[in-house]
Structure formats: structure tokens, C-alpha cells
Amino acid sequence: MKAAIFDMDGVIVDTNPHHRLAWRQYFERYGKPLSDADFVQYVSGKHNSQILTHLFTDRTLSDAESRQLAAEKEALFRELYQPDIAPVAGLIDFLQSLRNAGILTAVGTSAPLENLDFVMDALALRSWFTVLLDESKVSRPKPDPEIYQKAMQLLGVEPHESIIFEDSTTGIRAAKAAGAYVIGLATTDSVEELLRMGANEVIRDFTELTPDRFQELVSRSVPV
């Protein structure tokens, strides 16, 4: 392993409960309820543009409208999450282990730049990562592998030299398509679902990556 690439929501920070709350309040703001079943079907793992299409079924949104509405929702999310923001358990120690081993790191998130900056700066994480990619840096959202392929290119590594950490089925599909070894975090979906979607293994948080397990990962790669 030469590089570790991280999704953000559900991997670096467990934001999903607050995203769920923000989307529920946002849907209510526009007069539409959001049930748990609807959240799973229409929101979880989806790009904002897809979610907004479900919310505003009565009209076609222009690109400018879609961007403005998405920015409105993300501002609501940041307001709700600010008092509770915290890294996923064990993250900082794991990042230190990666640095000590000379392993490159990147973030590849479908979130907007404002959210990426919010998390990196609120938790003082920016210095831990060589490459930071948000939704504006790619033309095709996950499950397309573009964001992970671009992260590998910028880090100067091959897919079989990379491990990607993901929490959603959409993200795992992107990571697998990029050709990396994929570790799922069971913060959003179940262990069984993440394995079914193709994760090579699943952890609940980074405390499970003990020193011995870390050494196994460092020596592991996906066959070319």
C-alpha cells in the first residue's frame, strides 16, 4: 500500500444522522415530508441534484436553481452539525500511523467545497492530507470512479497500491470500479450490505485497525 484515500461523510466524520435531520427539515421547509423509507430510497448515497429532483417533482430545475437549493440545504446541515462535529473514533491515530509509514493520503468526497472546508478546518485535519477533492473537481459523481481515479493520479499511485475507505453502497461501487482494495465503514449501511456491495472487508471505526492489522494492510494490494 502506498496510498489511503478517504470518503468524508460517514468515514472521516459520522455526519449521516445530521444530514438526515437537515434533509428532513429541508423537505418540510418546502412542504414535503421525508419518511425513513424515502430517505433510504431517494436520499442516502445520492447526489444533491438527484435528491432535489425527487423533492421538486412539479418542475424542472435549472442548473443555477439546483446549485442554489443545494447550497441552501448544505448551509442548514453545517448549522446543525457545528455543535456536534467530531472525527470518527480512531481516525487521528490511524492518520498518524499512515504518516509514520510514509503512506500518502487523500480525501475524495461528493460533498461541496464548503462542507469539505468546514470539516477540515473545524477538526484541524487539513495537514493530514496531501490531496483534497470535492464535488467541483469532477464531472461525474459517484458511483462513477472518476474522483478516486483523479485522487490516485494526483498522488502518483496505481489502483493496486491504494486502499479506499467508504461507507455507502454508492461509494463502494465507485471505489471498486477504481480498482482499489476497499474497506467499508459500517456507519451508514450494515456490515452485510457493505460486503454484499463489494467491500473487501468492513470495520465499525478506525479503532479496529490495530498495529498488527495496520501492518497487514500496508503489505496488501489488489492483484494487477
**Would you tell me how many other CB atoms lie within 10 Å of the CB of residue 84?**
11
Q: Does residue 143 have a cis peptide bond before it, meaning omega lies within 30 degrees of 0?
A: yes
Q: Is the per-residue pLDDT at 157 higher than 90?
A: yes
Q: What is the sign of the dihedral through the CA atoms of 74, 79, 80 and 82?
A: positive
Segment 94-109, tens digit of pLDDT: 999 999 999 999 999 9
Which grid cell is 33? 415530508
Report pLDDT for 217.
81
In whole angstroms, what is the distance from residue 92 CA to residue 80 CA? 23
**Cα 164 to Cα 5, 29, 109, 128, 215, distances in angstroms:** 5, 36, 12, 16, 16
Q: Is the per-residue pLDDT at 222 higher than 60?
A: no
**What is the DSSP secondary-structure string of 50-88?**
HHHHHHTTTSPPPHHHHHHHHHHHHHHHHHHHGGG--BP
Read off the pTM.
Answer: 0.92
Of 192, 156, 186, nearest to 5 by C-alpha is: 156
Q: Could you say which DSSP state residue 219 is in?
A: T
**Domains within the chain, CATH numbers bracketed:** 3-15+87-219 (3.40.50.1000), 16-82 (1.10.150)
Segment 165-181, tens digit of pLDDT: 999 888 999 999 999 99
